[in-house]
Structures are given as C-alpha cells and as structure tokens.
Amino acid sequence: MGTHGGGVVLTGLFVALLAGCGATPRAVEVTESGHASGAAAQRGGSIGAAGSACELPVVFDIARGWQAEAVDALGAVASAGTDDDVTEEVVDGLLHQGPVTMACEVDAKPAGNIGYLRAWTGSPGSGDARAVLRAFVAAERSTSGATYRTFTAGGLSGVRVDYLYTSKLLEETKKESALAVVTPKGPVVLHLGGLDSAEHDEMLPAFELAQDSLRSR
C-alpha cells in the first residue's frame, strides 16, 4: 500500500473508523473445532511468502476473490500529514494495536462483502501467543464476551479469540475474531473485522481458511 502513496491504506482505515456500525449480533452455530458451521471458503491463493502480495513471518491461504495488499505503516502516517481530514496521530493509532503493527490488508469487497482480514506483526520477545492476543483485544477497548481457545496448524501453536466490539460513538455492537501465533521473527495476529455482525458471519469461513492453512515460512 505504501507504493501507492498511502491512499489505499487510508481508505481502509476510514472504513475501520466506521466499522462499529451494524446489526445486533446473531447466533452462529459453532462446531467442536471452534469453526462456524456452513460452507467452507474456496481457496484463492496464498500470501506471506517472498514475492507474494504481503511478505510475512507466516504463510496462509486467502479466500477466492479477496484482494491482498501490503501496508506501509510509515508511509501511511506520512501521507496523513498532508490530508486535512485525518491526522498523523489518528492514523498511527489505527496502524498500531497493542504490541503489533498492521502489515497487510485482505479486502473482502471484490468477493462481495464489506470487511477486511488484516495481518499484524510485532517484534520478537513481545510475549507468547495468548499474551499478545489479550493485549491486542485490550487495546481495541469496548470489547466484551471474549472466548479464547488454542489451535494448531501447520506446525504452529496459536490462540484464537471471538468477541464483541461496541462502538460508543455509534452505539452498535458487532462480532470480531482474531488469532495469534509466535514465530522466531515475532508474533503475527490475524484479525477479521466487518461492517456488522452479518458481514462477519459471511466472512468467517475466509478467516477459518486462513487459520487452518497457517504455516511458518
């Protein structure tokens, strides 16, 4: 994203600011594995490896139609300084959450949904997966009902959380999901955020595809 002057990432961040709006969360049937029941997402490729849209400490599959693009955090903050409608402080706050920094956005809009699967990375020594994930959720604020559980994929041991986020500004509550793994290059958090709970439910299979296919580089 930084290669495009920060414009794309700033657009995504404005969407993030508005993503608190939505319908009241509806129930979703969850299987014993912790996955939502329903059709699995179709694989559309993978990211994380050298030469892919986003180079990360891990590799994972993305759903068909979803579009990935790397986030240049420093470039986005610099671009914010030239925009009268957004400040560097606001953008910097959106690009950093707890011990991690946004590194990649996978946009669901080309596949018909309003939301993002975002990858965040941190420095080695930031803590174990559970500590990193708890810090990530705590930094989002206004969250409740968090349910944590462990998982393994591709030789990695991780922690997943499903929770509710309430926008105080919009007085709306929606579902969100995130997971964390720790690699020798530092922790990685994957976060699924949508416009509302209905969008979250529709995008959840894409998040679970990423979780199941996660592996180290």
% residues pLDDT > 70 (the chain): 73
Please say whether the beta carbons of 108 and 206 come within 8 A. Answer: yes
- Beta strand 96-97 with 156-167 is unpaired
Domains detected in the chain? 47-72+99-216 (3.40.1000.10)
Q: Please check the confidence at residue 36 and state whether its pLDDT lies above 90.
A: no
Q: Return the DSSP state at 36.
A: B
Q: What is the pLDDT of residues 110-167, one digit of tens each?
A: 999 999 999 999 999 988 999 999 999 999 989 999 999 999 999 999 999 999 999 8
CA distance linking residue 147 with residue 25, whole number of Å: 15
At 10, is the pLDDT very low, low, confident or very high (cuts 50, 70, 90)?
very low
Average confidence score pLDDT of the chain: 83
DSSP element (H, E) containing 15 = helix 7-18
Residue range 7-28: mean pLDDT, rounded: 41
Helices (H), the chain: 7-18, 73-80, 88-95, 129-140, 197-213
Which pLDDT value is given to residue 75?
A: 62
Q: How many helices (H) and strands (E) does the chain have?
A: 5, 11
Give 3 or 8, the one with higher predicted confidence. Answer: 8
At 81, is the pLDDT very low, low, confident or very high (cuts 50, 70, 90)?
low
Q: What is the pLDDT of residues 161-216, one digit of tens each?
A: 999 999 888 789 999 999 999 999 999 999 999 999 999 999 999 999 999 999 99
At 24, is the pLDDT very low, low, confident or very high (cuts 50, 70, 90)?
very low
CA distance linking residue 90 with residue 71, whole number of Å: 16
CA distance linking residue 78 with residue 141, whole number of Å: 26
Give 15 or 133, the one with higher predicted confidence. Answer: 133
Q: What is the pLDDT of residues 82-118, one digit of tens each?
A: 555 556 666 667 889 999 999 999 999 999 999 999 9
